[in-house]
Amino acid sequence: MIAPKKVIWAALVLMSTAAVGIGCAPPSAHGPATSTISVLLPPSERPFWQPIANGFEAAHPGTHVDLVEGPQSTDLRESLYTTSLLARDATFDLVYLDVTWTPKFAAAGWLCALDDSFPPSEREHFLPHAWDAGIFDGHLYRVPVRTDMGLLFYRQDWLDSAHVHPPATFEQLAEDAVVLGDPPARWGYVWQGAQYEGLVCNYLEVLTGYGGYWIDPETNDIGLEDPEAVAAAHFLVDATQVRASPPGVGTYQEEESRRIFQDGRAAFLRNWPYAYRLSQQAGSPLVGHVGVLLMPATDGGRPSGTLGGWGLGVSTYSKNPELATEFIRYAVSIESQRALCAPTGYAPALEAAYLDSTLLAVNPFLTRFRALHRHCTVRPAIARYAQASDILQRHLSAALAGIESPQMALEHAAHETRLLLGPRHPPRGTAG
Ligand code: GLC
């Protein structure tokens, strides 16, 4: 992650290069001989996008794809794109969007509708949840490139030797985590508790397991004061209090938690599918020892994992929207899916990739993942998602730090979210 100061500097550089937007028009005839398209990516992904960019350039002589490294944190990249697009800056032709960004960016008029190039009939080629995250007001603004889903990884060998079954309920998970842990050498359950988007993802799948909900995007109803929501927050807060989770879990993002598991120092890890591939790579001490589950559920809830994932859209201010759209087409070819997903363990967005022998040979887990993906839980598709998430992040984080009780944290979060979203409205299609 880069320091906030650096982000401010990066934002200023973007604004100083701002150009007046030209909408989604084709490039001008007086354009440069070499057409450049650029995109801001997390540094961890850049090396795996390079072969895709090279392949595209070879197939389109006279073009250059500029892969710009941004901060690693999702939230900080969202801020950078927002600053740039608010300034009608043409720096980024392509926007690499998290699964939750589409409503905000599309409602602001920052993305070109892609329906002509990717008509609704193409939906069947993609994982449905991944495709649907790109739709806003009936138009497609984001094409999914890779999907994600929160999963619960566990040490099968430790459970076996302790004669413990994989947990199906939160009580069992808590019990197993305590039994199998031996803090501080060995922790029961590691996850992402830092104040950022990942914390919301972790909470949401626990919340779904308890049968609760966060925001109903249809009605603006907020479920954070319901007993299920409080129970879900308690589950995470109590995990630290009983030392099933490390005291530092409130500062962990994906990699901090994954490294503890990878080093053989945790029984359970909540993370995204890439963590599984890394645990099973040649030389890893965990080869053959890791099981995968959905987050458990109580009777009234359902086992699930939060839907994540990344896709590409075309900026309204791009001077090369057609070339940018062609790049998206290239990025979702089976060859590009192989280039991005084989070395990383990322989950492809393209259905055909789940039957691809090259990908299956390096990552046989994809078959199981495809089945699990049907159980994902989706973050609310609302234009003010970033602010709603920020409210929840702040209060969950206060609860983890012991500054607010879980109940009080969620009451405050519910109140602030209500102020943000305005009054409840009736579900679509009903009178009144
Ligand atoms: C992963 C997911 C993304 C999520 C982020 C949170 O990158 O794909 O959807 O928002 O993690 O850290």
User: How many percent of the chain have pLDDT more than 90?
Assistant: 90
pLDDT digit string, tens, across residues 135-177: 999 999 999 999 999 999 999 999 999 999 999 999 999 999 9
pLDDT digits (tens, 9 = 90+) for 53-95: 999 999 999 999 999 999 998 999 999 999 999 999 999 999 9
Ligand 1 site, residue 134, Cβ cutoff 6 A: no
Q: Report how far residue 34's alpha carbon sits from residue 38's, in angstroms, rounded to the nearest whole number.
A: 13
3-state secondary structure of 22: coil
Residue 6 has pLDDT above 50, yes or no: no
Q: Which residue has a Cα nearest atom 6 of ligand 1? A: 198
Rounded-to-integer distance, Cα 397 and Cα 34, Å: 48
pTM for the full model? Answer: 0.92
Give the model confidence (pLDDT) of 7-59 as tens digits.
434 443 444 433 333 346 554 444 445 899 999 999 999 999 999 999 999 99
The verdict on the CB of residue 148 being under 6 Å from ligand 1 is yes
Q: According to the model, what pLDDT value does residue 26 have?
A: 52
* Domain span(s) for CATH 3.40.190.10 in the chain: 4-141+307-374, 150-304
Nearest protein Cα to ligand 1, atom 5? 198
Q: Which CATH number fits domain 150-304: 3.90.1150.10, 3.30.930.10, 3.30.200.20, 3.40.190.10?
A: 3.40.190.10
Nearest CA to ligand 1 atom 12: 198
CA separation for the pair 283, 73 (Å, rounded) = 28
- Which CATH superfamily groups domain 4-141+307-374? Periplasmic binding protein-like II (3.40.190.10)
The response to whether residue 73 sits with its C-beta less than 6 Å from ligand 1 reads: no
**Averaged pLDDT for residues 253-258:** 97
For residue range 271-320, list pLDDT tens digits in order.
999 999 999 999 999 999 999 999 999 999 999 999 999 999 999 999 99
Alpha helices in 224-356 (DSSP H): 227-241, 254-262, 274-279, 321-331, 334-341
Mutate to test the pocket of ligand 1, among 1, 41, 74 (most ligand atoms within 8 A of CB): 74
Within 8 A by CB and 6+ apart from 355, the residues are none
